[in-house]
Structure 1
């Protein structure tokens, strides 16, 4: 059973992150160019001059944020921005989308066409100051998440209705060809953001299906959490015991009052703490 965590309606809620040192949830409304938070019952937000979509934490006061044209360091206390690198800055058609830090301290970030133009997106890894393209020809990058042992990464192109997995080397770089983790095409499900718990089970938000679904490490469906909002976009584990599953949603194209809000549900699982990004 899910409950409302934050009543504000996001046009396109995305990228929830539970900051382990602040014990605080951050998330984005991509199309409103905002990062949002709620702390001790008080709502807060930061506005930017372009689309922002995903973050990783560096310290108690600093976060890495991906935007339409760059990856930058953001100070939560002062609001100061420091550019780290360009991110498809020369392509006005694309923007950042899903992203997450890996266990080695690398920040994975996917891009996509602003209007989901076919094959315009890529997935990158920013690691110790270097941005490297990992995969190209992706339409809607999503479901970037990592196994607890740090040996496997998962990601999706939502347009393919499947999630891929790939093994990682000792530095966290992919060292093989991606293989299929789960195919949702027979059920006509659209994989959006995902996170993996401490037992290696993958929790996937499924756009248009009112749910976050849980899959075993072998890709088998296990369980689901239902939401009143239709377009559930990304989950994140948080709370003091990392047993609370937060989920962003999107009101884009829908009228219901419950669409676009940020939700939470108590689970019997334990999430992995979000990894620190190593600059």
Structure 2
């Protein structure tokens, strides 16, 4: 396992840290503690960090413009004003299903959002992946237990996602202009061994960087499904990465202490913290979401 320079971005422990995002214009990183209903905001250059309480469990965000974000939450997609945190429900998702909540999400280069749901108790096959394109929400894939690793090739022609329960990373051909599938998903990589395939992001070269929950690392895969790097993270339950910084040369990685008893937390002293890794890799800016009429 490869060792790199790691710093702690936030000492605050997340019950279930997830959904990191980065806005290069303001040099600000964002991430969530899903179970504790918290949104974290950290201005990287200034060392400032604050925690925003939320009225709902939320798991991911994307920028609409400088003044607005879209928040992926347990009851649907909310528009959030950056200035004061005001939330307005934009599109409900599975509002009639109290057993589900949101999970992984990411924006395609076209501005289309892929987002997902799962059972609150990770019920088998209870999750799904949706797309918000042109203001219309559509269901792409169902029968997923823990949807994760949603990310896209730099040219927008391929989408990726995993079911952490099955430990399979899938690829699917996309229309680069819309971010919508033009073919069926296929298995790109089947993981065997320690940990599960969790959140992911692609770099500027098209490598897929996937956090491995339960194994304290982030793996890099080629678009052909070959694992080429494994980088250590100092918390066992690593959950999701995103590239940050003006040159996108560092990686922010979230972690969690969900389902860890006292002995497990003692054996994993950095559990739940949020980290910055110095990598010999370069990311790229996350696209802004196109909402359509609002």
User: TM-score by structure 2 length?
Assistant: 0.92
Match of 1:108 among 114, 139, 150: 114
* Structure 1 residue aligned with 2:133: 127
Given that 2:194 and 2:214 are in contact with CA atoms closer than 8 Å, whether structure 1 keeps it comes out as no
For residues 48-100 of structure 1, the C-alpha deviation after alignment (integer angstroms, 9 at most, x for no partner) is 22210011111122110011111011011022212111011110000000001
Superposed CA deviations along residues 129-165 of structure 1, whole A, max 9, x for unmatched, are 1111100111001000000011000001111111000
Indicate yes or no: 2:272 matched with 1:260: yes
Give yes or no for contact 1:101–1:277 (8 Å, CA) kept in 2: yes
Residues 1:23 and 2:2 aligned together? no
The residue matched to 1:233 in structure 2 has which SS?
A: strand
- Partner residue in 1 for 2:285: 273
- 3-state SS, counterpart of residue 159 of structure 1: coil
Q: Secondary structure of 1:103's match? A: coil
Q: Of 177, 183, 186, which aligns to 1:179? A: 186
Query: Which structure 2 segments of 5+ residues have no match?
Result: none
Contact between 1:202 and 1:216, CA under 8 Å: does it hold in 2? Answer: yes
* 8 Å CA contact retained: 1:120, 1:139: yes
Provide closer, same or farther for how the CA distance between residues 188 and 7 of structure 1 changes in structure 2, counting only shifts above 3 A: closer
Moved over 6 A (4+): none
User: Which residues of structure 1 form unaligned runs of 5+?
Assistant: none
Shift of 1:188: 4.4
2:250 aligned with 1:244: yes
2:9 maps to which residue? Answer: 5
CA distance in 1, matches of 2:53, 2:153: 33
1:1-279 superposed matches below 5 A: 1=4, 2-39=6-43, 40-169=46-175, 170-184=177-191, 186-254=192-260, 255-256=265-266, 257-279=269-291
Distance across 1 between alignment mates of 2:67 and 2:278: 28
Q: 2 CA distance for matches of 1:219 and 1:3?
A: 29
Q: CA deviation at 1:189?
A: 3.6
The answer on whether the counterparts of 1:84 and 1:129 sit within 8 Å (CA) in structure 2 is: no
In 2, are the aligned partners of 1:100 and 1:145 still within 8 Å (CA)?
Answer: yes
> Which secondary structure does the structure 2 equivalent of 1:31 belong to?
coil
Post-superposition shift, 1:261?
0.3
Q: Distance in 1 between matches of 2:129 and 2:185?
A: 13
SS in 2 for 1:242: coil
Contact 1:165–1:180 (8 Å) recurs in 2: yes
Contact 1:53 1:66 (C-alpha < 8 Å) held by counterparts:
yes
CA RMSD in angstroms, aligned pairs only: 1.1
User: Does structure 2 conserve the Cα–Cα contact (< 8 Å) formed by 1:243 and 1:267?
Assistant: yes
The CA deviation string for residues 222-252 of structure 1, in whole angstroms up to 9 with x for no partner, is: 1111012000000000111101011000012
- Bigger shift: residues 264-273 or 9-18: 264-273
TM-score, scaled to structure 1: 0.97
Asked if 2 retains the 8 angstrom alpha-carbon contact of 1:97 and 1:109, the reply is: yes
Structure 2 counterpart SS, 1:58 = strand
